[in-house]
Amino acid sequence: MPDAVVQVLVLLMRWLEIAGAGILVLGFLVATAGCLSQARSLGAVVAVAAYRKSLGRALLIGLEIFVAATIIKTITVEPSLEGLGLVAIMIAIRTFLGWTTVLEISGRWPWQRPQSDTAK
């Protein structure tokens, strides 16, 4: 691969890592501020439920971006079995978090039909 292309991909990978970390931090701060605001007006139980959902969404988005950066690094910049294993672990973690977040938000697993469909 030409050096110019590798340099662009390294730069892209670094920016994706920074963006992923930024989304995690920003998502935490926004979710925490929203939780504190909702706790005053709606009560702690409602606020904590919404807080968990907001944190889960921010975590999923941040992990998606980290996975993209890791794939770029593993496939193009530094191909290695260790990097491939890291990508596989990150995808497994992201999948598990996605399933549990859907369960938390909708009250059902991703492969289950919504309640209105199962009553038919």
Write out the two tokens for 7: 């340099």
| pTM for this predicted structure | 0.74
Report pLDDT digits (tens) over 75-118: 887 788 888 888 888 888 878 887 887 777 777 777 777 776 55
Find out whether 98 and 60 touch, Cβ atoms under 8 Å: yes
Report pLDDT digits (tens) over 3-36: 888 889 889 999 999 999 999 999 999 999 999 9
Domain ranges in the chain are 3-118
Of the candidates 35, 92, 83, 85, which has an alpha carbon nearest to the alpha carbon of residue 63?
Answer: 92
- Total Cβ atoms within 10 A of residue 86: 16
Find out whether 23 and 62 touch, Cβ atoms under 8 Å: yes
Please tell me the distance from the alpha carbon of residue 60 to that of residue 20, in angstroms, as a whole number: 10
